């Protein structure tokens, strides 16, 4: 899977709606040299005052807000896709982007959209995954970075990280520890995808020669 030509960095387009801690972790991985060969081309939000967008501005990154109210999903997504194209984005990273994507948007970036979900998929897709996992009584929880396809929290898995659920946990403490793992694993997943050394075989994301 080649996302950019060998000599140029893979350009990320970050989509977020909220606090943007995953975005900040990705930006910090790049700054610290842990995530090499990628750069953030643009940060896009559908929420005007999303804290993540404020942080992106502070970091001097190109920022764009597309408010979705009153627009058909297809129309809104068209605007976002055009902005990503304008910024020559190779890989779209959803980082707490609280909108379903239209099939047209997904088709415009085939195997070029990543999402992070706070459960070990396919368990607990959808909202409040950490609460769902806690209430179900699982002993292991975690997070998943996956490609986005036309179904919710469903595409090919890039990386997962599992953590034990402690007896002293409540849903909040569990979510906090999962989030700490998210901040590490998203950058690792981006590195794998950007490396060009992996490919999708069926539902498996594997090293090319393995």
Q: Is 154 in the site for ligand GRF (CB under 6 A)?
A: no
Q: Is 125 in the site for ligand GRF (CB under 6 A)?
A: no
Least distance in Å: CB of 116 to ligand GRF?
4
Least distance in Å: CB of 26 to ligand GRF?
9
Pairing of strands 91-94, 38-45: unpaired
Q: Is 13 in the site for ligand GRF (CB under 6 A)?
A: no
Name which position in 19, 64, 87, 154 contacts ligand GRF (CB under 6 A): 19
# residues near ligand GRF by CB under 6 A: 14
Q: How far is CA 135 from the centre of its chain?
A: 25
Partners of 145 in beta bridges: 116, 159
Which residues inside 35-54 make contact with ligand GRF, applying CB under 6 A? 52
**Among residues 112 and 117, whose Cβ is nearest to ligand GRF?**
117
Question: Is 87 part of the annotated catalytic residue set?
Answer: no
- Report the distance separating Cα 31 and Cα 35, nearest Å: 8
- Report the distance separating Cα 21 and Cα 75, nearest Å: 28
CA distance readout (Å), 65 to 10, 15, 58, 80, 152? 22, 10, 15, 9, 24
Name the residues annotated as catalytic: 117
């Amino acid at each position: 899977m080649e996302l950019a030509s060998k000599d140029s960095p893979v350009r990320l387009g970050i989509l977020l709606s909220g606090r943007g801690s995953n975005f900040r972790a990705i930006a910090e991985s790049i700054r610290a040299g842990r995530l090499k060969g990628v750069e953030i081309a643009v940060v896009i939000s559908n929420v005007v005052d999303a804290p993540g967008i404020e942080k992106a501005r502070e970091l001097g990154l190109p920022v764009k807000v597309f408010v979705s109210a009153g627009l058909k999903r297809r129309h809104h997504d068209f605007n976002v896709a055009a902005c990503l194209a304008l910024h020559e984005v190779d890989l779209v990273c959803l980082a707490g982007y609280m909108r379903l994507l239209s099939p047209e948007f997904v088709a415009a970036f085939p195997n070029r959209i990543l999402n992070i979900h706070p459960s070990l998929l396919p368990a607990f897709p959808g909202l409040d995954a950490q609460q769902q996992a806690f209430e179900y009584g699982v002993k292991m929880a975690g997070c998943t970075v996956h490609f986005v396809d036309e179904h919710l929290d469903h595409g090919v898995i890039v990386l997962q990280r599992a953590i034990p659920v402690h007896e002293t946990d409540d849903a909040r403490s569990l979510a906090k520890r999962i989030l700490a793992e998210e901040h590490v694993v998203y950058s690792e997943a981006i590195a794998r995808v950007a490396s060009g050394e992996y490919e999708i075989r069926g539902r498996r994301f594997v090293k090319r020669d393995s």
